[in-house]
Amino acid sequence: MARLLEALQAAGRTDEVAVLAERAAQGVPLDDPDAVADLLDAFRKAGQVDQIEAVLRRDPVRHVAVHDLRGVGTMMEMLRKTGHADQAIELATRVAEHLATEIQSGAAQPSEAFQVPLTDARIAGSDNGRSAAVDQPAALARQIRSLREKNAHKQIEELLASGLAERVDLDDRTGLAELLRELKSAKAAEVAAEVAVHAANAGFFDVFVEFNPAGRRQFRFGREPDGSPSAPWGWDDL
């Protein structure tokens, strides 16, 4: 179907492309990540934005077979290329949850949990070789919550030991707060404290003091970039 769309587009047969695209959007098997990825790519090349949205309204992220890691990786890349990185992250989280279950049952090795999406920067559109599924604090929070609910304590420890605090994206205030709540629930106080400090350095001082109440007293007049308390000041100093 994807190849036929491309051929019709190349031949300039726009009416046929529109009819076929609509039919394909409703007929693509949602459990096949390669089929979904191929169709999204064909729609992207053909400029069929409405049909991309039609496919995504059928929620392929929830239905796709996550055991096909290669296919899932391709689908994540296409989600990113069509401007839906948030759904790529959601799919990566599903894969992580699936692998956590497999690891707990002994059907997979712990190292496999980091093969998708950590080893392929294309999956979540990272420019620096890291995966957004790991860097995005909200996605991390969901992953930790899922592992915690499954009592997968060893996998949580491995995730925390992988340098999470250093990699987390500091642009998402809400996500950082959610991540800190999950770290607190997972009794990962040391990592939570490190993330809170990074949040403060990124300008989210309110997040820092929310999870470090003593900081409100310690940094009564603010916090300097080097972590030291700001000198006392009054409104007349402004």
Q: What are phi and psi of 229, to 5 degrees?
A: -65, 145
What integer pLDDT is reported at residue 179 of this predicted model? 92
Assign 77 a pLDDT band (cuts: 50, 70, 90): confident
Q: What's the whole-number mean pLDDT along residues 177-186? A: 92
pLDDT tens digits for range 11-40? 878 888 888 889 989 999 999 999 999 999
The span from the CA of 26 to the CA of 34, in Å, is 16
CA 226 – CA 238 distance, rounded (Å): 22
The confidence score (pLDDT) of residue 227 equals 67
The pLDDT mean for the chain works out to: 78
Alpha-carbon gap, residue 158 to 113, rounded angstroms? 10
Q: Are 100 and 152 in contact (CB under 8 A)?
A: yes
pLDDT at site 215: 61
Lowest mean pLDDT across 69-83, 85-99, 123-137, 215-229: 123-137
Lowest mean pLDDT among 38-42, 47-51, 141-145, 212-216: 212-216
The two most distant CA atoms of the chain are separated, in Å, by 72
Position 83 pLDDT exceeds 80:
yes
